[in-house]
Chains A and B, each alone.
Chain A
Amino acid sequence: EIVLTQSPGTLSLSPGERATLFCRASQSVSSNYLAWYQQKPGQAPRLLIYGGSSRATGIPDRFSGSGSGTDFTLTISRLEPEDFAVYCCQQYDNSPLTFGGGTKVEIK
């Protein structure tokens, strides 16, 4: 099973700042089969990025994904008030598909 470790656990930032979130896999994720989700309290996750770097439908271009192999990054170029939430990565290369533990982006 591929274990995904996200860091940091919590990121305290102000609106307008840049957020950089990390997801490290315990073994290589081939074909960049890695997705990122945003989740707000009481809501289902929202797909942001798939294939490591492809934005999902309707996702603003301030969200970007990068990386390969075992190290992946989600960047939010300028935080908007609605971006404060929990972000989670997921690999879908190997079975079982697995999720990271999440990074909470909170208002500083």
Chain B
Amino acid sequence: EVQLLESGGGLLQPGGSLRLSCAASGFTFSSHAMTWVRQAPGKGLERVSTISGSGDGTLYGDSVRGRFTISRDNSKNTVYLQMNSLRAEDTAVYYCAKHNGDGHGSAFFQHWGQGTLVTVSS
């Protein structure tokens, strides 16, 4: 059974930093790209960042580029999101999601984590 378990969310002040983790199990982790998706309160879904199965390729949304860094440790079956210079508008539930594979046309999400809430407020 595929499981994705996020951790690391919390309440912090603007300008702060946080690292989210997503521990995966139940599949060959390195064969799947992974994406962080966020959802601000009452809003829709927004792709934050994507990392390829090998970790060599990364993509970022315009709103987080230069502030957030995605990485993965395939030996630990874990993907991370390092979030720096946090802003109030980064407040959201952050989900990690497993791609169907690792290539073009695989970026739809059968499996999601339960989400972790990040609140940025003074």
Question: Chain A: residues with CB nearer than 8 A to chain B?
Answer: 31, 33, 35, 37, 44-45, 47, 50, 56-57, 88, 90, 92-93, 95-102
Assess whether B40 is interfacial by the CB under 8 Å rule.
no
Using Cβ atoms and an 8 Å threshold, which residues of chain A touch B47? Answer: 96-99
Inter-chain contacts of B108 with A (CB < 8 A): 33, 35, 47, 50, 90, 92
Partner of A44, one of B59, B106, B107, B114: B114
**In the complex, which residues of chain B have a beta carbon less than 8 angstroms from the beta carbon of A47?**
108-110
Residue of A whose beta carbon sits closest to that of B107: A92
Taking Cβ atoms with an 8 Å cutoff, the residues of B that contact A are 35, 44-47, 50, 59, 61, 95, 100, 105-110, 112-115
Instruction: Flag if A31 contacts B115 (CB, 8 Å).
Output: no
Nearest CB of chain B from residue A57's CB, rounded to whole Å: 7
Closest Cβ neighbor of B46 among chain A residues = A99
CB of A68, distance to nearest CB on chain B (Å): 15
A21 to chain B, nearest CB (A): 14
Contact A90 B105 (CB under 8 A): no
Q: Which of B35, B45, B46, B106 has the most CB of A within 10 A?
A: B45
